[in-house]
Amino acid sequence: MELLRRFREGDRDAFTTIYRAHHPAVFRFALHMTCDRDKATEVTQEVFVWLIHHAEDYDPARGELGAFLFGVTRKFLQRSRRNESRFVPFDESFETSAPAPPDDSEAVELRRAIAALPERYREAVVLCDLEGKSYEEAAVLLECALGTVRSRLHRARELLGKKLRAQQRCSV
């Protein structure tokens, strides 16, 4: 509370402390959701710029700042996807960001597989498996029922398992 009060009053050190405490989770979530480092950086910047200009919008009585920032990140990711959907590349092979270096490792394949999941499944995997949130926490963040989170995660893991198995067959 004291940190938040100082941040709202314009204390630069307070903002730096808040940023350092919360930016890894925000960036990781954005990175897992977009599978693009540039986009994740952009979203992280937008989230904290928004926080700078809307510091009064956060009510500590309603939850932790981390959860609040997660909600803001989610909104910015949805906006980013909406904006991207308005544009169609000239060529199907055209890539908007710098292509990743060729790497056939399973980790990279898994990243791509997660990025290809439908958004509702991807969010469940990122929160519960990659970020280590409990079902209860994820349900609060995703604003849905606990059973919904569990079923989405199970469905997502089944899809990921199938994709990985298919890739293993291709590589063999």
Contact set with another protein (CB under 8 A): 10, 12, 15-16, 19-20, 23-24, 27-28, 31-32, 40-41, 44-45, 48-49, 52-53, 106-107, 110-111, 125, 129-132, 150, 153-154, 157-158, 160-161, 164-165
Name the minimum Å distance from CB 70 to another protein: 16
Give DSSP secondary structure letters for 71-92.
HHHHHHHHHHHHHHHT---SST
Name the minimum Å distance from CB 99 to another protein: 19
Quote the tokens at residue 59.
């009510």
Residue 15 has a CB neighbour count (10 Å cut-off) of: 18
Name the minimum Å distance from CB 2 to another protein: 18
Name the minimum Å distance from CB 4 to another protein: 14
Name the minimum Å distance from CB 77 to another protein: 15
DSSP letter (8 states) at residue 152: H
Residue 31 has a CB neighbour count (10 Å cut-off) of: 20
Q: Based on CB atoms, which residue is closest to another protein, 93 or 105?
A: 105
Q: Based on CB atoms, which residue is closest to another protein, 67 or 164?
A: 164
d(CA 65, CA 75): 15
Q: Based on CB atoms, which residue is closest to another protein, 88 or 172?
A: 172
Q: Based on CB atoms, which residue is closest to another protein, 10 or 99?
A: 10
Contact assessment for residue 121 and residue 156, using Cβ atoms and an 8 Å cutoff: yes
Neighbouring residues of 76: CB distance < 8 A, sequence distance ≥ 6: 43, 46, 47, 50
